[in-house]
A and B are shown apart, each in its own frame.
Chain A
Amino acid sequence: MSFSGFYLAMFTVLAALILRPVAFKYRSKRAAKAWRGAWDWALFIGGFVPALIFGVAVGNVLQGVPFHLTDDLLPVYEGGALAKFFGLLNPFALLAGVVSVAMLVMHGAAWLGLKAEDPVAGRARAIGSVAGLVAIAGYALAGLWLAFGIDGYAFTSEVVANGPSNPLHSEVAKGGSWLAAYAARPWIAIAPVAGFAGMAMAVMGLRAKRDLGTLLWSKLGIFGVISSVGLTMFPFILPSKTAPNSSLTVWDASSSQQTLFVMLVVTAIFMPLILAYTAWVYKILWGKVTEDDVLAEASQMY
């Protein structure tokens, strides 16, 4: 439902996501420099734009989004097309976008350090350790901003966890701090701790040229940063700043019990399978990609 509210932003993400797989496949199909250069840019856009906009989206969700639900439960976003689009680009949201991009650049650098040789790996490590520092600083700044500059949301009516999935049945008010969650559920501090520790260790790893460990620390950092948003906002998913009662929460924006159960079973069966065959593919393609490999296998790949 946030897709329609973030309409033009989602269209931009979509265009970038379309470019990405096409660029991977088509780049090598012609030898011309202009062709390859163009697809290199397409790959850059395909990675940069979604990373930025998803971060910006999270930044907006934390502040609340201007929408209300009609009696039929149709979401209506306030403002015209341009106001909706440029409204997303506020300072806090942009900061979240920067954290998102920097964090993923760090991760990409860790991967290149593992898979590539110098000079590519060296360049990646240099860029990645700067990006990691930016991510750490941005994440810390965003945390302070949340503590002092941004209101949280809370239920004002009784929380009914197993009632009908209808956001309009509960009452919500803006006010207080999101960070109150850390007083109510102290254990969730593990998420930001993992975020900071993972990113810090990844930066040190990049500097010390440790490959595999760096990638795993970077993964932990990303996992910590993303889960800290969810754990802090819980049970809110998409708060509304103009009509708080319309806010979507875990309790009233979920699927029916039947559907949730079906999907739980399907996921329990397929997730391990997916992890197993993906691990196997990684194993087959394991090892550094060297210049010799690329030249030797050029005729075998297509």
Chain B
Amino acid sequence: MEFGIVELSRFQFAMTAMYHFLFVPLTLGLSILVAIMETVYVMTNRPIWRQMTKFWATLFGINFVLGVATGITMEFQFGMNWSYYSHYVGDIFGAPLAIEGLMAFFMEATFVGLMFFGWDRMSKISHMVITWLVAIGSNFSALWILIANGWMQNPVGAEFNPLTMRMEMTSFFDVVFNEVAQAKFVHTVSAGYVTAAGFVTGVSAWYLLKGRHIELARRSMAVASAFGLASAISVVILGDESGYSTSHNQKMKLAAIEAMWETEPAPASFTLFGIPDQEARETKYGIHIPWAMGLIGTRSLDTVIPGIDELEKEAEVWIRDGMIAYGALMEIREAKGEVAPEVMATFEEHSEHLGYAFLLRKYTDDPTTATDEQIHQAALDTIPTVWPLFWAFRIMVGLGFFFIAGFAYYFYRASFKRMSFPRAALIFAPIAIPLPWIAAEMGWFVAEFGRQPWTVDGVLPTAMSVSALSVGEVLFTIAGFALFYTVLFIVEMGLMLKYIRKGPTLDVKETELWLEDHAERLRHSPSGSPIATPAE
């Protein structure tokens, strides 16, 4: 593979996006967990819950700010590195991004300040509302970003305008209620909840292991393991929903994930393991589960899932169709405004597959005169590289099921075994903290790498989407990001570890006030610790 502008721009986007997503899932989940803890504080008035709120919110803040900062990079890059993409689909893609700013980002960014600085300036209930608004704002952010990304996977509610040479929105409703976007949103935020639950469980287990901050750790463990179990179940179920929407919207992605070379009679089998060989178009040493794929992918016994061979032939037909549209587009451009109606009619008839003709531009300057060999090559390009998708998907799904089992265990011990954990479980939980991150990054890899060779599925090839830059410029910024992001990562991890080691700060004044208020009741209470009564 030669490294030109396209490859370098893709590499930079992948690198900065995956880095950004180190911080996003924890923000999504931890904001909700903190809001839950503060709600318990407001309801019970117990200082320990205030202490928990503040402790986890401190860690939330350290993470949140890098999520915000690295998000700026994502938006900048559409203009800096993907200017043709921005021109071609900005009319649709720009709207959800702008709405994200207006509806979600301003809200979370404005209220996060009050969340940290406002404790003594407002009532408890007001502060709790602020914390919830930060959590809701973060999650709304994810909604609009995923509506934008969902449109790249399944471009609905838009059509190509030959006079402006770009896609234009025809239905805002269709863009917002795109089934792919909705499935992705719930799947992604659930993944964030799992990440945060795993983080809180892991840190709490470490405290229990060390015998420190027991009161905080036990309660945090109780909240996080329950939240984690619910989230892990939903991330798997909603991931299945996401897969189902892929089966009829992005057939090639699904076939590549499953390494399904040939169309099988319905219901197709699911390949549990195997070694995909793209050259020979076969999966070696495959272990198949009969019927499973057909049932999961189509939710029926008789719907056929097309294999890669068949989809490649289909792509060839669409390329030929797109070539007619391309020819008509060139005539429209020549006519400069005075377009003959029959040319327009030809264009409209074939414009659905215009994007497929663009795939030919890699091989010829004039796609209308492409040879059979060039058309065949372009059709081959519609097949993404199978093995990374095959494996990334299986790692993600395997981890998903593992999270259900893991959280079920911690939830059971926390809720029904009076928080008695074997030592091994307390050692394992902190070690397992990175696993949800791995699953989430794998998920994004499957979603984005699986869409190749397109930035917008079937509409705009990745190779055409880039800016007119020089290799040197992109190499320079890749090096810049690598250096800058590494330093930020080290600083962030240093602070996280420092504040985890330090533990919560005891709110002396608050605790004394509470003890005074409850002195009478505590005198009659058999419990040893006044701050944490077992009745809770």
A interface residues with partner B (beta carbon < 8 Å): 1-4, 7-8, 10-11, 14-15, 17-22, 24-26, 29-30, 71-77, 80-81, 164-166, 169, 255-256, 258-259, 262-263, 266-267, 270-271, 274, 277-278, 281, 284-285, 297, 299-302
Instruction: Tell me the complex Cα distance, A233–B306, Å.
Output: 55
Using A11-B480, A164-B163 as known contacts, say yes or no to A299 and B84 having CB atoms under 8 A apart.
no
- B469 touching A4 by the CB < 8 A rule? yes
Does B467 count as interface, using CB distance less than 8 angstroms?
yes
Query: What's the minimum C-beta distance from A210 to chain B, rounded to whole angstroms?
Result: 26
Instruction: Tell me the complex Cα distance, A76–B468, Å.
Output: 6
Q: Could you jot down 28 A-B contacts, CB within 8 Å?
A: A3-B76, A3-B78, A3-B80, A4-B79, A4-B81, A7-B477, A14-B80, A17-B69, A20-B69, A21-B68, A29-B498, A75-B467, A80-B470, A81-B469, A165-B166, A166-B165, A169-B163, A255-B90, A255-B94, A256-B164, A259-B92, A266-B103, A277-B107, A277-B111, A278-B106, A281-B114, A302-B58, A302-B61
Query: What's the minimum C-beta distance from A255 to chain B, rounded to whole angstroms?
Result: 5
Which of A20, A76, A166, A169 has most B Cβ within 10 Å? A166
**A299 contacts which chain B residues (CB < 8 A)?**
505
- Which residue of A has the minimal Cβ distance to B474? A7
Using A164-B161, A166-B165 as known contacts, say yes or no to A278 and B81 having CB atoms under 8 A apart.
no
Total A-B residue pairs with C-beta atoms closer than 8 Å?
174
Using A18-B72, A300-B120, A302-B61 as known contacts, say yes or no to A73 and B87 having CB atoms under 8 A apart.
yes
Does B168 count as interface, using CB distance less than 8 angstroms?
yes
Which of B69, B118, B170 has most A Cβ within 10 Å? B69
Instruction: Tell me the complex Cα distance, A267–B102, Å.
Output: 7
**A263 contacts which chain B residues (CB < 8 A)?**
95, 98-99
**A259 contacts which chain B residues (CB < 8 A)?**
91-92, 94-95, 168-169, 172
- B79 touching A10 by the CB < 8 A rule? yes
Instruction: Tell me the complex Cα distance, A302–B58, Å.
Output: 6
- A10 touching B165 by the CB < 8 A rule? no
- Which residue of B has the minimal Cβ distance to A20? B69
- Per a CB cutoff under 8 Å, which of A4, A29, A165 touches B164? A165
Does B73 count as interface, using CB distance less than 8 angstroms?
yes
- B65 touching A22 by the CB < 8 A rule? yes
**A258 contacts which chain B residues (CB < 8 A)?**
168-170, 172
Question: Lowest 4 CB-CB distances: which A-B pairs, in order?
Answer: A3-B79, A4-B467, A164-B163, A4-B83
- A256 touching B65 by the CB < 8 A rule? no
- A297 touching B69 by the CB < 8 A rule? no
Instruction: Tell me the complex Cα distance, A233–B467, Å.
Output: 26
- B470 touching A81 by the CB < 8 A rule? yes
Within 8 A of A (CB), among B149-208: 161, 163-166, 168-170, 172
Using A256-B91, A277-B110 as known contacts, say yes or no to A73 and B166 having CB atoms under 8 A apart.
yes
Instruction: Tell me the complex Cα distance, A300–B510, Å.
Output: 11
Instruction: Tell me the complex Cα distance, A177–B16, Å.
Output: 43
- A284 touching B83 by the CB < 8 A rule? no
- A270 touching B473 by the CB < 8 A rule? no
- B111 touching A1 by the CB < 8 A rule? no
Using A11-B80, A165-B164 as known contacts, say yes or no to A281 and B120 having CB atoms under 8 A apart.
no
Query: What's the minimum C-beta distance from A45 to chain B, rounded to whole angstroms?
Result: 12
**B86 contacts which chain A residues (CB < 8 A)?**
1
- B87 touching A4 by the CB < 8 A rule? no
- B95 touching A25 by the CB < 8 A rule? no
- Per a CB cutoff under 8 Å, which of B66, B87, B102, B164 touches A22? B66
- Per a CB cutoff under 8 Å, which of B64, B84, B102, B468 touches A274? B102
